[in-house]
């Protein structure tokens, strides 16, 4: 090979390497923007039909919007919650439930979160429970912020809802990981055989809940893993969310739904695991 052709070959090879590096860098940069800026704010509305044996006629088609894991703090702002509230209100749910983790890092963020959540609208109100991050800061402060905003916080207690003359019970327990959950107290006085929805932040609590008179458990906590890799799934899942990390599952005689959450925690990325608002509809079978 001549010196000239060798020199040309080297230049071509160098351009190929540099070009490939530029493409790779651009791909990494665009991917970084996607997982940090785009997907974490790209809320998905997931519609789920929940079949319930012997469901009374007035409850057929009853809709529950579930939002969870807001984590207002260093990585999630109040405007992120506002977008979720606006999206949920467009669904026109009969009931809204919030399944915990309103803050990250400090309970003082709960005021901003509650202020946005106060905009939620549903014919049968907005009911809430607390999550582990709320207890890791100050559960009483978080609960007070929510209540001052007009939200009903359930701490080992239940509510009876009258839907066109048919009863449905909504029970809520304190955080399983860091609170003092008391399912017996939450269900005390709930008639057997009446449709009953349990709000429990950690989904793996379903293995205990299914032993009781519960139709449907609604949970969050997992964030779906925040990152879900093809053929692998979520590399990391939190304690008490390993078994039922997302979606609708049958656990014994009970249904369980695990919501992927609105916000996130560090590292503040999402990949193939968009934030979620769930609209669950009860159906008779």
pLDDT digits (tens, 9 = 90+) for 171-188: 999 999 999 999 999 999
CA distance 201 to 130: 7
Q: Is the pLDDT of residue 275 over 50?
A: yes
Q: Which of 154, 75, 145 is nearest to 115 (CA)?
A: 145
pLDDT of amino acid 10:
43
Please tell me whether residues 162 and 217 are part of one structural domain: yes
Whether the bond between 267 and the residue before it is cis, its omega within 30 degrees of 0, is: yes
The answer to whether residues 156 and 32 belong to one domain is no
Contact 255, 50 (CB under 8 A): yes
Domain that holds residue 236: 44-284
Mean pLDDT over 199-210 rounds to 98
Shared-domain flag, residues 149 and 274 = yes
Work out the average pLDDT over 8-18: 38
Supply the pTM of this predicted model.
0.90
Average pLDDT, stretch 204-233?
A: 97
pLDDT of 237: 98
pLDDT at 29 over 70: no
Q: Could you give the CA distance from residue 114 to residue 134 in angstroms, rounded to a whole number? A: 13
Is the same domain home to 144 and 235?
A: yes
Higher pLDDT, 131 or 25: 131
What pLDDT is stored for residue 15 in this prediction?
A: 38
Task: Convert the pLDDT of each residue in 60-109 to its tens digit.
Answer: 999 999 999 999 999 999 999 999 999 999 999 999 999 999 999 999 99
Give dist(CA 175, CA 181) in Å, integer: 6
Percent of the chain with pLDDT over 70: 89
Instruction: Note whether 111 and 190 are same-domain residues.
Output: yes
Q: Could you tell me if 101 and 1 lie in one domain?
A: no
Q: 30: pLDDT confidence band, cut at 50, 70 and 90?
A: low
The helix or strand, by DSSP H or E, that contains position 157, with its residue range, turns out to be: strand 157-163
CA 132 – CA 119 distance, rounded (Å)? 24
In three-state secondary structure terms, 261 is coil
The answer on pLDDT for 189 being more than 90 is yes
Q: What is the pLDDT of residue 102?
A: 99
Helix count and strand count (H, E) for the chain: 7, 12
Whether residue 276 sits in one domain with residue 190: yes
**Cα–Cα distance, 146 to 177 (Å, whole number):** 21
What's the structural domain count of the chain?
A: 2
Number of CB atoms found within 10 A of residue 32's CB: 11
The dihedral built from the CA positions of residue 124, 137, 68 and 79, taken in this order, carries a sign that is: positive
Distance (Å, rounded) from C-alpha 23 to C-alpha 4? 28
Do 7 and 107 lie in one domain? The reply is no
* Token pair 């509650």 in the structure block, residue: 114
- CATH number, domain containing residue 135: 3.60.21.10
Distances (CA, A) of 72 to 55, 107, 196, 261: 37, 10, 30, 12
Q: What average pLDDT is seen over the chain?
A: 91
């Amino acid at each position: 090979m001549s010196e000239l052709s060798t020199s040309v070959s080297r230049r071509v090879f160098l351009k190929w390497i540099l070009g490939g590096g530029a493409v790779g860098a651009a791909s990494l940069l665009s991917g970084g923007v996607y997982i940090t800026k785009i997907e974490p704010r790209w809320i998905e509305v997931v519609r789920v039909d929940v079949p319930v044996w012997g469901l009374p006629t007035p409850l057929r088609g009853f809709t529950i919007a579930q939002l969870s894991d807001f984590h207002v703090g260093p990585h999630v702002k109040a405007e992120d919650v506002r977008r979720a509230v606006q999206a949920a209100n467009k669904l026109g749910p009969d009931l809204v439930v919030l399944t915990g983790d309103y803050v990250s890092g400090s309970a003082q963020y709960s005021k901003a979160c509650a202020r946005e959540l106060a905009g939620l609208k549903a014919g049968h109100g907005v009911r809430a429970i607390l999550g582990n991050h709320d207890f890791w800061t100050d559960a009483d402060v978080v609960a007070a912020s929510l209540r001052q905003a007009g939200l009903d916080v359930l701490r080992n207690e239940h509510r009876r809802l009258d839907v066109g003359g048919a009863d449905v019970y909504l029970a809520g327990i304190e955080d399983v990981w860091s609170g003092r959950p008391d399912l017996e107290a939450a269900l005390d006085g709930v008639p057997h055989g009446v449709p009953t929805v349990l709000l429990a932040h950690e989904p793996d609590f379903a293995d205990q809940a299914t032993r009781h008179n519960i139709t449907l458990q609604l949970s969050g906590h997992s964030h779906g893993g925040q990152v879900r890799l093809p053929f692998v799934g979520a590399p990391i899942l939190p304690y008490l969310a390993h078994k039922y990390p997302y979606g609708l599952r049958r656990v014994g005689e009970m249904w369980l739904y695990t919501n992927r959450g609105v916000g996130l925690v560090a590292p503040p990325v999402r990949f193939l695991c968009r934030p979620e608002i769930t609209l669950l509809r009860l159906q008779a079978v």
